[in-house]
């Protein structure tokens, strides 16, 4: 999908929104459409089923959109494609999903999707309405759940952005280049100058969205203000102006390396989005960069359940589990904002590109949001760079629309091999480079992180993993350029306590 950005929030983007007759989360979808319509020009198309289920008057009242068409009374799909900049499926039925995934040309909505794809214009899809509200939604690992995830992944592969009804407004405004995207409330948290910005998703776009509220908050920080406006117990002279105050807490922009990250710093680190998360436990801000990891061979369901519960409590970036536990993790973390990460070609990296691609597709169909693949270490050391590149490209093609990290297993590589691995990962379009599996003789080092950051530049993420067991080490990795931390000692790192269990990862 073309990254279509429009200069400045004053430009009104022409948005064509489709409402199908599905009743699950429809009110949330309508609220998102109202938020979009307050900022941009929206024309709404109702399918025949939506006309029967909701009626034009109800949709008009709920969305604030007055320009409403019914499918059988619209202009041609070609004319609609020419007249609008973004296509939005605010509610998507299972029938609509099936037709779009199979490129069926027997309905206006599927033809519209085809034409928008042909012209490279953005398409944003809210997935919540696929299942009828009269029945429980199937779990990700069931046959029905797997089939739907496969079809959604087909849409992602085509370049469509898949989101939720609650996040729909933010995603659409983001596609519009609207500087107010992060301040939209559609049933979720909002970035506000009185709230801490504590979660980032890093690496996929290499760009940072900075809302007005976030700008206000970073301006407060630059003046030495605390989020609560309270007094600081100590201070430090600043060469650039007045004395900058210390809070002595994780919120302090001087005591805490993460507190120094304003919009420009996040952009340099490869951040693509900023969100708000409120942990249930008191913890250091580094928690929100952690992939909470459990990859041992004898991991039990109970341990995975505990892992997911901890990830919710501390607002970790993701849980990283073996592929067999992806469906369970996806179910346990649904609606939490914590991503599900899994591993491919793990831990040796010596399977073929085809096998790694199949593993990736299967994991995504089961609910995985992020894929960490192991590079073909032996091929790299043999100088067979084309095989290494083909290996990474195969997984990249299978994971379009998802975050993909390339594990280099740096412990086995020379400096020149590390540089070449970073170059090939960047060439293949990976989102992150990552140090280690945690199964090698050693893990991440500050020197390796600095080298990897230097090689991939600001448009990719760098993940430090292997042997990170305390907060001090994690922060050194962040200072060196890491934008994600892989660890099993995540709770100890987040709370600053000593690790209780001797996990290797």
Q: Which residues are catalytic?
A: 372, 434, 463
Contact indicator for 434, 371 with CB cutoff of 8 Å: no
Distances (CA, A) of 179 to 5, 161, 211: 11, 19, 6
As separate numbers, helices (DSSP H) first and strands (DSSP E) second, the chain gives: 19, 18
Q: Is the dihedral of CA 88, 92, 97, 103 positive or negative?
A: negative
Residue 342, SS3 per DSSP: strand
Q: Could you tell me where the beta strands, DSSP code E, fall in 328-394?
A: 339-344, 370-374
- Which residue do the tokens 């299978």 mark? 398
Is 410 within 8 Å of 373 (Cβ atoms)?
no
Bridge partners of 46, per DSSP, are: 19, 70
Q: How far is CA 113 from the centre of its chain?
A: 23
Note the Cα 329 to chain centre separation in Å: 16
Pairing of strands 68-70, 199-202: unpaired
Tokens of 227: 């989020």
| Residue 478 tokens, joined | 């962040």
Task: Tell me how far apart the alpha carbons of residues 95 and 133 are, in angstroms, rounded to a whole number.
Answer: 15
Helix (H, G, I), strand (E, B) or coil at 383: coil
Q: What single string gives the DSSP state of each residue in 416-478?
A: HHHHHHHHHHHHHT-SEEE---S-SS----HHHHHHHHHHHGGGSEEEEESS--SHHHHHHHH
SS3 assignment for 479-494: HHCCCEEEECCHHHHH
């Amino acid at each position: 999908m073309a990254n279509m950005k429009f200069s400045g929030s004053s430009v009104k983007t022409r948005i064509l929104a489709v409402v199908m007759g599905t009743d699950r989360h429809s009110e949330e979808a309508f609220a998102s459409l109202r938020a979009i319509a307050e900022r941009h020009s929206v024309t709404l198309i109702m399918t025949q089923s939506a006309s029967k289920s909701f009626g034009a008057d109800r949709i008009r009242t709920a969305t604030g959109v007055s320009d409403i068409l019914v499918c059988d009374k619209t202009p041609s799909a070609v004319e609609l494609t020419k007249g609008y900049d973004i296509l939005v499926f605010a509610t998507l039925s299972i029938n609509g999903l099936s037709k779009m995934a199979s490129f069926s040309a027997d309905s206006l909505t599927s033809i519209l999707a085809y034409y928008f794809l042909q012209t490279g214009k953005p398409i944003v899809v809210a997935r919540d309405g696929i299942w009828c509200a009269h029945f429980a939604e199937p779990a990700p690992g069931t046959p029905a759940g797997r089939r739907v995830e496969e079809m959604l992944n087909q849409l992602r592969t085509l370049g469509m952005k898949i989101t939720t009804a609650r996040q729909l407004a933010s995603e659409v405004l983001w596609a519009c280049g609207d500087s107010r995207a992060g301040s939209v409330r559609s049933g979720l948290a909002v970035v506000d100058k009185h709230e801490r910005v504590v979660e980032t998703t890093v690496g996929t776009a290499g760009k940072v969205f900075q809302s007005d509220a976030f700008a206000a908050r970073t301006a407060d920080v630059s003046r030495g203000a605390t989020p609560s406006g309270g007094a600081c117990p100590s201070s430090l002279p600043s060469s650039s102006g007045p004395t900058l105050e210390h809070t002595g807490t994780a919120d302090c922009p001087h005591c805490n390396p993460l507190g120094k990250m304003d919009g420009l710093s996040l952009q340099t680190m490869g951040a693509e989005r900023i969100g708000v998360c409120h942990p249930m436990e008191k913890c250091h801000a580094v928690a929100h960069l952690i992939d909470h990891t459990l990859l041992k061979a004898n991991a039990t369901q109970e341990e995975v359940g505990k892992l997911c519960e901890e990830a919710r409590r501390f607002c970790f970036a993701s849980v990283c589990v073996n592929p067999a536990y992806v469906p369970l993790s996806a179910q346990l973390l649904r609606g939490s904002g914590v991503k599900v990460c899994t591993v491919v070609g793990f831990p040796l990296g010596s399977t073929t590109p085809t096998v790694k691609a199949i593993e990736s597709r299967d994991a995504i169909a089961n609910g995985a949001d992020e894929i960490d693949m192991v590079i073909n270490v032996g091929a790299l050391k043999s100088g067979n760079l084309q095989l290494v590149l083909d290996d990474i490209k195969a997984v990249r093609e299978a994971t379009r629309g998802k975050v993909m990290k390339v594990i280099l297993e740096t412990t086995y590589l020379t400096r020149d091999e590390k540089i070449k691995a970073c170059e090939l990962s960047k060439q293949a379009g990976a989102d992150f480079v990552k140090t280690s599996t945690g199964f090698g003789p050693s893990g991440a080092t500050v020197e390796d992180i600095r080298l990897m950051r230097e090689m991939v530049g600001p448009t990719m993420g760098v993940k430090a993993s292997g042997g990170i067991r305390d907060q001090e080490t994690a922060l050194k990795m962040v200072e060196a350029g890491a934008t994600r931390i892989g660890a099993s000692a995540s709770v100890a790192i987040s709370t600053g306590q000593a690790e209780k269990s001797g996990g290797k990862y």
